[in-house]
Amino acid sequence: MSFGRAWKIAARELRLGPRSPVFIWVLLLPLAMSFLISAVFGGLLDPDPRLGIVDLGSSEVTVAARELEGISVSLVSDAETLRDQVEAHDLDAGFVLAAGFDEAVRSGDEPELDFYISGESLASSRAILAVTTTDLVRGVGGQDPPVSVAVTPIGDEDFVPIGDRLLPIVVYYAVVMAALFLPASSILDEREKHTLDAVLVTPTTMREVLVGKGILGVLMGVALGVVSLALNQAMGERPLEVVLFLLVGSIMMAELGLILGSLVKDANSLYTAIKAGGVFIALPVIFIIWPTLPQWISKLAPTYYFLQPVYDIAVNGMALSDFWLEFAVACLISLALAPILLAVGRRAEIHLAWAA
């Protein structure tokens, strides 16, 4: 098999794609959903993260904080008032600077920094304020801050904003529509229009056609997944790990899409098959939105093994090391689908040869 010809197939698909209504629909649907969720539940139109500061000693940290752009900084009179405002979600987070804080940092001591976080704040706001606070203290000491940070979550720690809980829907549509539906509809369209016959007359093989269409599906799935998360400010602190799971998930979905597109008879059969299996592969989305449901059920769906890690890494700050088993299972599913796809491709190639 020539990967050069496979890449040419992928390039041709990308070049001709904008002429297809299916391609435009696959491209615009996740982005439209991202915008709607962001606009209604938070994300694109979120207010700036809100930080409260209790300064008991005229610290340089306060001066630098008030000059920040993109963060709303409020001075609070005392720690008790700060706690009340964070608990009421009037502030996303806040910290208390003790008297002599700057001098203690410069001398290398470890002054305690009481940092309060609202349980109802967005994950993106928490990450921004935590990093910003570290940078502000570093600006005083000129090095990694020798500070003992006491983080106190206030309010409902298990609260997850509805905008964050709806992120799996956006990722699901981005990856499944681009990586599964796009290759499936493309291979079916070529079969119905008999343009695949003309391609196979050349040295290009069916395997190269499948790989080329799969490459485009994978690239589109990863790209739309990243863009959708970025629009919702939800790439998290480990974007490379998020991209890794998006990549594995897109490969898995592209293989399923190519198998499906090679087997169904016509467009109606394709839509029926996707509708019938849609609820099953969407199980993880349902169980993330309603976490009180028995979570083991969602593990029956192959999409669980990339959607759940993407959600937990991007929103809950978890790491790849927490999902090594899910990553291994996702890779095994992708490897198991490969010989099935090759067999289906070979069957389709023989069928086309007989038809000719």
Name the nearest CA neighbour of 247 among 322, 185, 325, 178: 178
Q: What is the CATH number of the domain that holds 81?
A: 3.40.1710.10
> How much of the chain, in percent, has pLDDT values that exceed 90?
23
The pLDDT assigned to 162 comes to: 57
Please check the confidence at residue 249 and state whether its pLDDT lies above 70.
yes
pLDDT band at 122 (very low <50, low <70, confident <90, very high): low
pLDDT tens track for 44-82: 445 678 999 999 888 888 988 888 888 899 999 999 999
**Statement to judge: residues 308 and 326 lie in one domain:** yes
Residues 128, 104 share a domain: yes
pLDDT band at 338 (very low <50, low <70, confident <90, very high): very high
Mean pLDDT, rounded, of the chain = 82
Q: Where are the beta strands (DSSP E) in the chain?
A: 50-55, 72-75, 93-97, 112-118, 148-154
Residue 127 domain boundaries: 50-154
Of 154, 177, 200, at which residue does a domain stop?
Answer: 154
Whether 136 and 177 map to the same domain: the answer is no
Which of 128, 154, 180 is a domain's end point? 154
Average pLDDT over residues 246-263: 93
Residues 287 and 144 in one domain: no
CA distance 323 to 303: 14
Cα–Cα distance measured from residue 305 to residue 326, given in angstroms and rounded to the nearest whole number: 5
Residue 236: closest CA among 154, 133, 310: 310
**How many separate domains does the chain show?**
2
Looking at residue 354, its pLDDT comes to: 63
Partners of 115 in beta bridges = 95, 151
Residues 6+ apart with CB under 8 A from 247: 218, 222
Average pLDDT on 122-149 reads 69
pLDDT score of 252: 95
Handedness of CA 55, 56, 61, 62 (dihedral sign): positive
- Pair 143, 232 in one domain: no
Residues 146 and 192 in one domain: no
pTM (2 decimals)?
Answer: 0.68
Q: Is the pLDDT of residue 310 over 80?
A: yes
Is there a single domain that holds both residue 145 and residue 170?
no
Question: In terms of pLDDT, which residue wins out, 247 or 312?
Answer: 247
Domain boundary among 107, 134, 154: 154
Cα separations (Å) of 63 from 93, 107, 129, 228, 230?
18, 20, 16, 36, 31
Q: Determine what percent of the chain is predicted with pLDDT higher than 70.
A: 86
If asked whether residues 240 and 290 sit together in one domain, one would say yes
25 and 83 both lie in a single domain: no
Mean pLDDT value of segment 272-292: 80
Quote the pLDDT of residue 179.
Answer: 92
